[in-house]
Amino acid sequence: MLKFDHFYNARDKYASAMDKLKDTRAIIIDFGQNVGGWPEAANTFASYFYDQRTHLGDIYYRKDQLTVQNWTDAQTIGPRYGSQRPVYILTSRNTHGAAEALVYAMQQTGRATVVGGPTMGSAHLADRFPLSEHFQAWVPVARAIDATTGGDWQENGVRPNVECQRCDPKRVAHNLALRGTKTP
């Protein structure tokens, strides 16, 4: 099992983790406390679970009318896990930002089974605007767009394939992996 609480530029660490897990029959990734981080780092990590470069989604910046595409990397520095073995991702209300984008993309492409609770629902990027010395406003300036659905997870969060808020999602994912179940 892998546990990530934040995505940062750590290509070598992602490669090392994937090298250790390259011979497993399934993988469980815990994003239950992942607060996001760099989208590029999340894309790099996702690259290990696809056999070819894959479009995960876009971010549309309203002010500049600019769309930034998010793709997996064409090459990885560690061994690819590939697209055939099951991947289970654990989520909770504390999963947000780049982690939510990655979970949603992997779920919508059929690459991962999501187990746990709904994520935070933060698909719109916001910037802080000071209003006075003691007040500020957070205003949405961009929105995520999934490459598969054209939608996003704003407000509702990413809904798990297997909802497990009052049980142990690690145990549920482990049992699914033992049975070889990709999706319920």
Is the per-residue pLDDT at 126 higher than 90?
Answer: no
Q: Which residue has the higher pLDDT, 7 or 182?
A: 7
Q: Who's near 57: CB < 8 A, 6+ residues apart?
A: 69, 70, 101, 104, 105, 144, 145, 146, 147
pLDDT above 70 as % of the chain: 98
Please write the tens of the pLDDT for every residue from 28-68. Answer: 999 999 998 888 999 999 999 999 999 999 999 999 999 99
Tens-place pLDDT, residues 79-88: 999 999 999 9
Give the pairing type, strands 27-30 and 2-3. parallel
The band of 183, judged by pLDDT with boundaries at 50, 70 and 90, is low
* Distance set, CA 14 to CA 2, 19, 43, 173 (Å): 10, 9, 11, 21
Query: Mean of the per-residue pLDDT values for the chain?
Result: 93
Residue 184 has pLDDT above 60, yes or no: no
Residue 9, pLDDT above cutoff 90? no
Q: What is the pLDDT of residue 91?
A: 97
- pLDDT, tens digit, for every residue of 148-181? 999 999 989 999 999 997 899 999 999 999 998 6
31 neighbors 106 (Cβ within 8 angstroms): no
Using only C-alpha atoms, what is the Rg of the chain? Answer: 17
Q: What is the pLDDT of residues 72-110, one digit of tens each?
A: 999 999 999 999 999 999 999 999 999 999 999 999 999
